[in-house]
Structure 1
Amino acid sequence: MGWAVPAARRRRPASVRRAAVAVTDANGATASLQCAMRVRTLRMIVSGPLADTAKAARAHMEKAHPGLTVDITSAATSYSQIVQQIGADAAAGRSTDLAVAGLDLLATFVERLDAQEVSPRSLRASYDQRFATLGTVGGRQLFVVPQQVSVPVLLYNADMLAQAGVDPRSLKDTTGLLAAAEKIKQALPGVQPVDLPTSDQFGQWFFNTIAGSKGASIQNAVGQPDFTSAAARDTASFLARVGGYGPQSNTPADAMVRFALNRKSAIVGASISSVVPGLQTIERQGKGAFPLGVAPLPVLPGGTQHPVASGNGLVMLATDRCQYEMATELMMAMLAPDMVAAGVTTLSYLPVDIEAANRLVSLYQRYPQVVPFNALIDSIVRAPYWSGPRGGEVPVLASEAVARIMMGANPTTTLTELQKQAEAFLM
């Protein structure tokens, strides 16, 4: 990554005043009349997939506040590119009021981009506050308000599993998944039993979720990396065995093509956000469609589900009081129940709004595979908060290590090297 952030954005101005709100309105915080009359322009940076939501929120704000212009930049295709865009714009003298932040880049926004704290009381009454903890620092200060939250899952071709004599319920732990892979290998020559892509930071995501099932996060209580715990070693051994069944796909997109279109894999690791698009892709195959099953990522033997959150949220960057108030109102427009419901309908993220969830009954009736994951919300844990100037690079470092393990590198040696490299990055 190695993006440069101007010094002007690294320091929190002493004059910053946060809007004091005590919201009881269902629509969340709104700007004071004084600020609504004063602010003429708001600037927001989002990733491409959120452009439509941003445009709808802009239309709402510009209608509610005649004369206001909401400028949207949506050229970024990744969360790291958003960080780069904010830094480049700041260097050119252009400030950003509101931005989309990857949940695993929370530390970057707080420590290097001067993210402003948001009061949970400013959120809509229908916002599911259980998600707010995923964007907090120290369990108290809310900096990123989660908008699109995902957990890792396994997608499986139910026909292939049946042909191989695999009970889908056996996929719940790593031992069962390996046994299933062996059956698939014997029964279905030419089919990859399991495909776990590692790029786009999926490697760290899968690794952390599986290791965390035994209570061993890859980040310890004081924020340091912990890639050499017993659970981490067990996870690495499991991933090495999965890699032994054949080459794993590089990107999640490649894995989905291999699984859903080419039918060259029986089980694939994915994000829950790919479930509805995957089901729709399979439906379009008509007579060639196959029944798609969905299961949580397996736990280590004796472990319990504690999936690590991924996805994105909204982060406040405005430091002027009135810009902050108006940007907060824009944030509430982005988090409106109809916006959240529309996003879940397109990409099956977990609904962060209770009213939005109530509007998704027809979607859940059509695609019941995603329903059980709503019950995991209380068990979801925050992505690691990698501090320091190079902390944002640790997820990439970890994902590359996972890829090497799955390609045959010694798990113990690779984890030891990863631990040393991660520690050096966080110094």
Structure 2
Amino acid sequence: MRMRRTLPTVVALGMIVLTACGGGGGSSNPADDVRPTARTADAGVAGVAGATASPECAARVKTLRMAAVGTLNDVAKSGKAYMEKAHPGLTVELTATAPDYSALVQQISADRSAGRTADVAVAGFDQLPVYARQLGAQVLSPSLLRPTYDQRLLRLGTVDGKLVGIPQQVSTLALVYNLDILQKAGVDPKTLTTTDGVIAAADKIKASGQNVQPIDLPTGQQFGQWVLNTLASSKGTPIQDAAGRPALTTPAAREAAQFLAKVGTYGPQSDDPTQQGLLRFGIRRQVAITAVTVASLAGGLKFIADQGTKGFRAGAIPFPTLPGGSQHPVAGGNALTVLATDRCQQEMATELVVSLLSPDVVAASTEAFSYIPVDSQAISQLGPFYETYPQLKPFLALTGSLVKAPVWTGARGGEVPTALSNQVVRITRGEDPARTLADAQTQAEELNR
């Protein structure tokens, strides 16, 4: 089947779109006025390799239920269309109203209590332990996947050494810059690969008289923890150790905190990466360099290109490493889980999962949200897309080096990411980095008990 290449009429919820002009029409929020991303994330499914359910189960199962977050509605519809065509009489019920992964867990739990269980669910990577230990996520076999699926990513879907989620959409942090501002300041973007290079660039921008803040690293939506962890991970010591304990006072964490403290001296750092970071970098052009997720890039770059002379030249690279470090970026994104317990429901649910990993669906999802593709055949289909957005190509090389995000499993572990992001705010606002990290370590240990 051929992919439908239609454009959405609105920007997907939560996507950071980089523009060069303000919104109009009297909107109270200029971000509400930005328009199309690359395309919708729906596509045809050519087949499911060897994951087809047995004739017995195909005849027996009449309903499959899938739960996803709202931004995955198009992707889920691709699997629904395939399954209902392949199995006449089957109904795939989609629930894709949850605004985020935490809300989705609550929704699935409430539905289970009411006797309405999901067979397939999309889980944020950091939520996978909840799915495995509380929601009954089944152990999955890599042998079900197509040969073109990049199995290096499967480690992102493991809990306690067992594969309970197949990574579907994978993202990480990107450093985005206004090339026009950098060139006027005499900054070569190639120097932004390390934190030392970023600071040197920021000093040049500050001295260039362009009246812009050199750098803004947002801290809201758990970006603070993500930035700190990505930097520490570049030295091989993420902020969570192998035993699941906080590791916030390592030399790498202290070095990362020193960098964040210096960043804070260039001006206020945004709390919200969308509502503030978007406005300051893209619309108001008050900032030269900022951080976004890879999943936001295609839509933003397209919008800038569509502005013509009103736009600006935007570049993007993987988030920098500490000096002497290497790229081991922390992954964000989601995985597909099977929650069905009945054997036949499991077989049909597994077939649905594999359909959602079809190269066409993966390619369409990448064109919509610029996630890092999980399938090599999908990458081969995306040649024109990467020619249009060459800024995205460097992220393809990160697949083998991505690391898992922290999973805080204590009684109040869900509070840790926000708590650590708040500690990063303290650092960027001038508080002593070493003392703040010590406070963060104590707080994280308490919440993670």
**Is the CA contact 2:48–2:358 (under 8 Å) kept in the aligned structure 1?**
no
* Counterpart check, 1:185 vs 2:206: yes
* Other-structure match for 2:107: 85
* Counterpart check, 1:312 vs 2:334: yes
1:134-192 Cα shifts (integer Å, max 9, x gaps): 11134x42111111101111011111001111111211111111111111112144311
* Counterpart check, 1:372 vs 2:394: yes
Out of 182, 197, 220, the residue aligned to residue 218 of structure 2 is 197
SS of aligned partner of 1:269: strand
137 and 353 in structure 1: CA distance in 2 versus 1, 3 angstrom threshold: same
SS of aligned partner of 2:97: strand
Separation (CA, whole Å) in 2 of partners of 1:158 and 1:188:
16
Separation (CA, whole Å) in 2 of partners of 1:391 and 1:106:
13
Separation (CA, whole Å) in 1 of partners of 2:362 and 2:383:
14
Segments of structure 2 that go 5 or more residues without pairing to the other structure are 1-46
Report the number of matched residues: 402
* Other-structure match for 1:47: 69
**Is the CA contact 1:28–1:125 (under 8 Å) kept in the aligned structure 2?**
no
- Give the C-alpha shift of residue 259 in structure 1: 1.3
SS of aligned partner of 2:187: coil
Separation (CA, whole Å) in 2 of partners of 1:397 and 1:185:
31
Out of 339, 342, 354, the residue aligned to residue 332 of structure 1 is 354
* Other-structure match for 1:162: 183
* Counterpart check, 1:71 vs 2:114: no
- Give the C-alpha shift of residue 413 in structure 1: 2.2
- Give the C-alpha shift of residue 213 in structure 1: 0.8
Separation (CA, whole Å) in 1 of partners of 2:251 and 2:191:
23
**Is the CA contact 2:68–2:122 (under 8 Å) kept in the aligned structure 1?**
yes
Out of 121, 130, 133, the residue aligned to residue 155 of structure 2 is 133
* Other-structure match for 2:36: none
1:40-76 Cα shifts (integer Å, max 9, x gaps): 1111111111101111211111111111111111111
Letter in 2 for 1:291: R
* Other-structure match for 1:382: 404
* Other-structure match for 1:121: 143
* Other-structure match for 1:14: none
Segments of structure 1 that go 5 or more residues without pairing to the other structure are 1-24
**Is the CA contact 2:317–2:394 (under 8 Å) kept in the aligned structure 1?**
no
- Give the C-alpha shift of residue 91 in structure 1: 1.9
1:262-317 Cα shifts (integer Å, max 9, x gaps): 21110011111112111112112111222111122111111111111101111111
1:177-216 Cα shifts (integer Å, max 9, x gaps): 1111111112144311111111111111111110111111
* Counterpart check, 1:255 vs 2:277: yes
Separation (CA, whole Å) in 2 of partners of 1:304 and 1:318:
40
Give the structure-1-normalised TM-score: 0.91
1:235-281 Cα shifts (integer Å, max 9, x gaps): 11111111121111122213123212221110011111112111112
88 and 155 in structure 1: CA distance in 2 versus 1, 3 angstrom threshold: same
**Is the CA contact 2:61–2:348 (under 8 Å) kept in the aligned structure 1?**
yes
Greater shift in the superposed pair: 97-106 or 397-406: 397-406
The two structures, once aligned, show a CA RMSD in angstroms of: 1.5
Separation (CA, whole Å) in 1 of partners of 2:414 and 2:99:
17
1:3-55 Cα shifts (integer Å, max 9, x gaps): xxxxxxxxxxxxxxxxxxxxxx9624121111111111111111111101111
**Is the CA contact 2:48–2:354 (under 8 Å) kept in the aligned structure 1?**
no
**Is the CA contact 1:28–1:332 (under 8 Å) kept in the aligned structure 2?**
no
Letter in 2 for 1:148: Q
Out of 290, 297, 312, the residue aligned to residue 268 of structure 1 is 290
Separation (CA, whole Å) in 1 of partners of 2:216 and 2:225:
15
- Give the C-alpha shift of residue 125 in structure 1: 2.4
* Other-structure match for 2:195: 174
* Counterpart check, 1:36 vs 2:58: yes
Separation (CA, whole Å) in 1 of partners of 2:72 and 2:290:
26
Alignment of 1:190-229 (within 5 A): 190-229=211-250
326 and 188 in structure 1: CA distance in 2 versus 1, 3 angstrom threshold: farther
- Give the C-alpha shift of residue 376 in structure 1: 1.6
Letter in 2 for 1:353: D
Separation (CA, whole Å) in 1 of partners of 2:445 and 2:180:
45
**Is the CA contact 2:230–2:328 (under 8 Å) kept in the aligned structure 1?**
yes
Sequence identity (%): 53
Separation (CA, whole Å) in 2 of partners of 1:389 and 1:114:
19
Separation (CA, whole Å) in 2 of partners of 1:59 and 1:342:
15
* Counterpart check, 1:415 vs 2:424: no
* Other-structure match for 2:133: 111
Separation (CA, whole Å) in 2 of partners of 1:151 and 1:188:
32
**Is the CA contact 2:318–2:394 (under 8 Å) kept in the aligned structure 1?**
no
Give the structure-2-normalised TM-score: 0.87
Greater shift in the superposed pair: 337-346 or 287-296: 287-296
Separation (CA, whole Å) in 2 of partners of 1:206 and 1:137:
23
Separation (CA, whole Å) in 2 of partners of 1:389 and 1:90:
21
SS of aligned partner of 1:252: coil
Greater shift in the superposed pair: 414-423 or 383-392: 383-392
- Give the C-alpha shift of residue 372 in structure 1: 1.6
SS of aligned partner of 1:146: strand
Greater shift in the superposed pair: 160-169 or 378-387: 378-387
Separation (CA, whole Å) in 2 of partners of 1:31 and 1:137:
26
Separation (CA, whole Å) in 1 of partners of 2:242 and 2:314:
38
